[in-house]
Amino acid sequence: GGGAGAAMADGEGLVSVDYEVHGKVQGVFFRKYTQGEAKRLGLVGWVQNTTHGTVQGQIQGPTARVRELQEWLKKIGSPQSRISRAEFSNEKKIKALEHKEFQILK
């Protein structure tokens, strides 16, 4: 750690970001693991499969925690998944969370 002052201040703000993950991400419990990781980090939002074989959703929470889940979505995912790339869009600062929890949408 170290240098917590400035970094913490930045991490205090809430952000919302949309994501889409490409690769072998359907049929490998990707949504379940994403929900578990989001809950562990204290984030809210949603995740769902798309008709074109990707997984998409939205993450909301403290900036630093959202960054952690973004890294997880880019590099780790569920054990059987093979992530080719993760795209993030529509990132914005928010005053309050717009979701109650992190849901898996059908």
Catalytic residue among 31, 40, 65, 90: 31
State which amino acid sits at residue 43: L
Per DSSP, the three-state class of 47 is: strand
82 is catalytic: no
Catalytic residue among 40, 49, 65, 90: 49
Give this prediction's pTM: 0.88
Helices and strands: H and E segment counts in the chain:
3, 5
Strands (E) located in 1-106? 14-24, 44-49, 55-62, 82-94, 102-104
The per-residue pLDDT for range 46-100, each reduced to its tens digit, is 999 999 999 999 999 999 999 999 999 999 999 999 999 999 999 999 999 999 9
The per-residue pLDDT for range 31-59, each reduced to its tens digit, is 999 999 999 999 999 999 999 999 999 99
User: What CATH number is given for 20-104 in this structure?
Assistant: 3.30.70.100
31 is catalytic: yes
Per DSSP, the three-state class of 75 is: helix
